[in-house]
Amino acid sequence: MFTQIYLKRFFLYSLMLCSSLLLVGCGKSNAEDKQRAHITVTVTHDGAPVTEAELRLMMDGKGEGAMGVLNEAGQTELSDVVLGSYTVTVTPPEGTPDNPAPKKDYPNIPQKYRSMKDTPLKADVKAGANELTFDLKK
């Protein structure tokens, strides 16, 4: 009988502790406090729009990022991008497991722009609307 009472209390206290931890985790996070902006990015290669590519922004040392797919004008619009300095890459489309991207060369995306380590592209996202243009050169 003592064991049953002990187990019931243990279960009740465990349930209360788990509930308390869940409620604490539901508070407002720092991510909600960060200032954000809208950006429009245009990517060209020797003046012509890059139309089949994915654009990625990764905040230097912070883990924040954004990603968009370039349209037929070589543009993508990204909302709610955290303000700050970013490294930018332009990569061929990856597709999905259900809809893989075609296997082909993308000469309009030179290799150096495809890697976070090698890309020279940088972006500073400031409050308000941001319009960024990158011309990829060999």
pLDDT digits (tens, 9 = 90+) for 87-116: 999 999 987 788 887 788 899 999 999 999
pLDDT digits (tens, 9 = 90+) for 50-80: 999 999 999 978 789 999 999 999 999 999 9
pLDDT band per the 50, 70, 90 thresholds, residue 127: very high
| Amino acid in the structure at residue 41 | V
> From start to end of the chain, where are the E strands?
36-45, 48-49, 54-59, 65-69, 75-82, 84-91, 122-125, 129-136
Query: Region 22-46: what's the mean pLDDT?
Result: 76
The closest of 79, 90, 95 to 130, measured between CA atoms, is: 79
The closest of 64, 12, 16 to 39, measured between CA atoms, is: 64
Structural domains of the chain, with CATH: 35-94+105-136 (2.60.40.10)
pTM of the complete model: 0.73
